[in-house]
Amino acid sequence: MTDERREPTTSPPGPPVSVEPADPGRRRFFRQFAGEVLTSAAQVVGAVTELRDRSAAEASSLLGETRPAAAAQTGAAPLALSRPSEPAGDRAPTGFRTPFRFESDNVLLVIDQRKLPDALVEMPVRSASDAANAIRLMVVRGAPAIGQVAAIGLALTARIAAKSQAHTRRAILEGAADILRIARPTAINLRWAVDRLMARYREIGALSEDGEAIAVALNDEAMAIVAEATDDHGRLAEAGRAILPATGDRPLQVLTHCNTGPLACGQFGTALGVVQAAHHAELPLHVWVDETRPYLQGARLTAWELKQAGVPHTLIPDMAAGPLMARGEVDVIVVGADRIAANGDTANKVGTYTLAVLAARHGIPFYVCAPMSSVDLGTPDGAAIPIEDRPAIEVTDIRGVRIAPEGTAVRNPSFDVTPAELITAIVTEEGALRAPFGPALRDAMASREARRDEAAGAASAVAPPAPVGAAG
Ligand code: MRU
């Protein structure tokens, strides 16, 4: 953020904003965004030099971009986006991108994932309370993404509260942190990100009068979380790619569940990041996409992302995964995680446990791909992970059409727990961890911290930290 901030705006979310690339400011953003994606994608496959030399047309195809090559050469907006009112099909929205972007210093625009794949619509987030709403309503979902949006929302509230009295600001920030932490209960990334910003706040001094310094520090912390996620997911993707089974001349058959792509994670996916990295490294592969009942993250979001990335894939009903495994049509399963307990037990989208049992039955490697921000060493095992129960309507209705008799009793646990013994490897930015997961996770956490400390040391050797207010 810069010093040219506008005055704080009110917090209720405004109407959805349609994505229109005609505006020159937005064109600039999209151009810059495409450049950033290219750079990061190149790092993932370790091909920076090669990529630098590629033509704009090749770069477009790497991004899975659908606009004509002529437009690429003229430097027009690099992402082809349709109007929200347009129906699905050939004119469905396209564009390989992150789930959010800044409209200004005070407004984050979050893609409304409830509307995909039919429409690409953005919703403004101006505060922690907007962020909590967006998370609760599933406008943004996926463990890493909700952590990032929560952090930015809290930083926006710190900005709004910059001129308040210290006691008032403390009440505002603590209240905001509380509503964010409880927006969704299972993914630990949410609490991890909020706790990290609040720790930074307390470091400055919760009763410091310098609201400006607090706002700047919380903004920096939120931006660090976003930047680290990009870096971590890139490392993770490469670590996962390196352990994919070899299948000789035939394409690797990968099965995945839910959505773990950029929409769920920021710039890079986790489990889907491994797929992206393998695809960019030109490994022939095909992905079986579980539709992921009842919320259909696989059908609506993963299929959408893979289509744009140009990765061959086939959508299957969740219950087809078992028979495919039995027929030898699955070589590896990659899934994400919402929380990994200290012993390696892993909570992820409901259906993951079933896949892990089937994978063990058929001797198929089962990889959980998640950043260390999804690891909760404070939760001893899976039994201690809170599982979110979601509304009955998600089961009784499909996109507004009721399919079950009125009044049918429903249980809708949104996540399940896969015991550590069913997991072949936990793939993180610190490498692919193997059982026993307890010590492996502790070591990986220590090495992540050491890497961060080293990076922070190097950064402060270059530029001294900005002065902050006195301790309160
Ligand atoms: O309910 P959702 O859509 O937020 O659930 C998402 C998942 O279960 C993902 O697999 C998990 O968050 C990992 S995302 C990299």
In this prediction, what percent of the chain has a pLDDT beyond 70?
77
Q: How far is the CA of 257 from the centre of ligand 1 (A)?
A: 9
Ligand 1 pocket member 448 (CB < 6 A): no
Q: How far is the CA of 45 from the centre of ligand 1 (A)?
A: 24
Ligand 1 pocket member 270 (CB < 6 A): yes
Beta bridge partners of 255: 288, 333
**Predicted confidence (pLDDT) per residue in 172-220, tens digit:** 999 999 999 999 999 999 999 999 999 999 999 999 999 999 999 999 9
Q: Which has more pLDDT, 425 or 5?
A: 425
Phi/psi at 61 (5° precision): -70, -30
Taking residue 120's Cβ as centre, other Cβ atoms within 10 Å add up to: 23
**Predicted confidence (pLDDT) per residue in 405-453, tens digit:** 999 999 999 999 999 999 999 999 999 999 999 999 999 999 999 998 8
Q: How far is the CA of 142 from the centre of ligand 1 (A)?
A: 4
Taking residue 2's Cβ as centre, other Cβ atoms within 10 Å add up to: 5
Ligand 1 pocket member 132 (CB < 6 A): no
Ligand 1 atom nearest to 146, measured from its CA: 4
Whether pLDDT at 23 is above 70: no
Give the pLDDT score at 460: 73
Give the pLDDT score at 93: 53
Q: If you average pLDDT over every residue of the chain, what do you get?
A: 83
List % helix, strand, coil for the chain (3-state, nearest 5): 45, 15, 40
Give the pLDDT score at 59: 30
- Sequence-ordered list of residues with C-beta below 8 angstroms from that of 231, at least 6 positions apart, any chain: 429
d(CA 454, CA 186): 31
10-19, 156-165, 173-182, 227-236: least confidently modelled range: 10-19
d(CA 235, CA 422): 24
70-74, 293-297, 324-328: least confidently modelled range: 70-74
Whether pLDDT at 362 is above 50: yes
30-44, 283-297, 410-424: least confidently modelled range: 30-44
Ligand 1 pocket member 230 (CB < 6 A): no
H-only helix segments in 346-431:
352-362, 393-396
Ligand 1 pocket member 144 (CB < 6 A): yes
Residue with CA closest to ligand 1 atom 15: 260
Whether pLDDT at 277 is above 70: yes
Nearest-5° Cα angle at 112, 80 to 13: 125
Ligand 1 atom nearest to 370, measured from its CA: 15
- State which of 138, 272, 297 you would mutate to test the pocket of ligand 1, scoring each by most atoms of that ligand within 8 A of its C-beta: 297
Ligand 1 pocket member 264 (CB < 6 A): yes
Q: Are 437 and 425 in contact (CB under 8 A)?
A: no
How would you class 46 by CB atoms within 10 Å of its CB: exposed for 0-12, middle for 13-18, buried for 19 or more? middle
- Sequence-ordered list of residues with C-beta below 8 angstroms from that of 189, at least 6 positions apart, any chain: 143, 144, 146, 147, 338, 371, 373, 374
390-399, 413-422, 457-466: least confidently modelled range: 457-466
Q: How far is the CA of 403 from the centre of ligand 1 (A)?
A: 25
Beta bridge partners of 256: 289, 334
Give the pLDDT score at 310: 93
DSSP assignment of 276-298 equals: HHHHHTT--EEEEEE--TTTTHI
Q: Are 323 and 337 in contact (CB under 8 A)?
A: no
31-40, 380-389, 412-421: least confidently modelled range: 31-40
- State which of 259, 292, 417, 429 you would mutate to test the pocket of ligand 1, scoring each by most atoms of that ligand within 8 A of its C-beta: 259
d(CA 350, CA 334): 14
Q: Are 180 and 131 in contact (CB under 8 A)?
A: yes
Q: How far is the CA of 362 from the centre of ligand 1 (A)?
A: 25
d(CA 228, CA 432): 18
Active site residues: 338
Residue with CA closest to ligand 1 atom 10: 336
Q: How far is the CA of 49 from the centre of ligand 1 (A)?
A: 34
d(CA 106, CA 160): 9
**Predicted confidence (pLDDT) per residue in 208-264, tens digit:** 999 999 999 999 999 999 999 999 999 999 999 999 999 999 999 999 999 999 999
Q: How far is the CA of 169 from the centre of ligand 1 (A)?
A: 33
Give the pLDDT score at 464: 52
Ligand 1 pocket member 265 (CB < 6 A): yes
Ligand 1 pocket member 126 (CB < 6 A): no
- State which of 276, 338, 340, 390 you would mutate to test the pocket of ligand 1, scoring each by most atoms of that ligand within 8 A of its C-beta: 338
Whether pLDDT at 284 is above 50: yes
DSSP assignment of 37-57 equals: HHHHHHHHTT-HHHHHTS-HH
Phi/psi at 332 (5° precision): -160, 150
Q: What is the mean pLDDT of residues 339-367?
A: 98
Query: What would the two tokens of residue 126 be?
Result: 């101006």
d(CA 287, CA 144): 22
Q: How far is the CA of 371 from the centre of ligand 1 (A)?
A: 13
Give the pLDDT score at 456: 81
Give the pLDDT score at 46: 39
39-53, 114-128, 366-380: least confidently modelled range: 39-53
Q: What is the mean pLDDT of residues 29-39?
A: 40
Classify the phi-psi angles of 142: left when phi > 0, otherwise alpha if psi is within -120 to 50, otherwise beta.
left
Whether pLDDT at 27 is above 80: no
Residue with CA closest to ligand 1 atom 6: 142
Distances (CA, A) of 384 to 136, 163, 346, 377, 417: 22, 41, 11, 11, 10
**Predicted confidence (pLDDT) per residue in 60-118, tens digit:** 333 333 322 222 222 222 222 222 333 334 445 555 458 999 999 999 999 999 999 99
How would you class 380 by CB atoms within 10 Å of its CB: exposed for 0-12, middle for 13-18, buried for 19 or more? middle
Give the pLDDT score at 463: 60
- Strands 425-428 and 431-433 come out as antiparallel
Ligand 1 pocket member 143 (CB < 6 A): yes
Q: Which domains does the chain have, with CATH numbers?
A: 44-232 (1.20.120.420), 234-456 (3.40.50.10470)
Q: What is the mean pLDDT of residues 321-334?
A: 98
- State which of 186, 189, 260, 373 you would mutate to test the pocket of ligand 1, scoring each by most atoms of that ligand within 8 A of its C-beta: 260
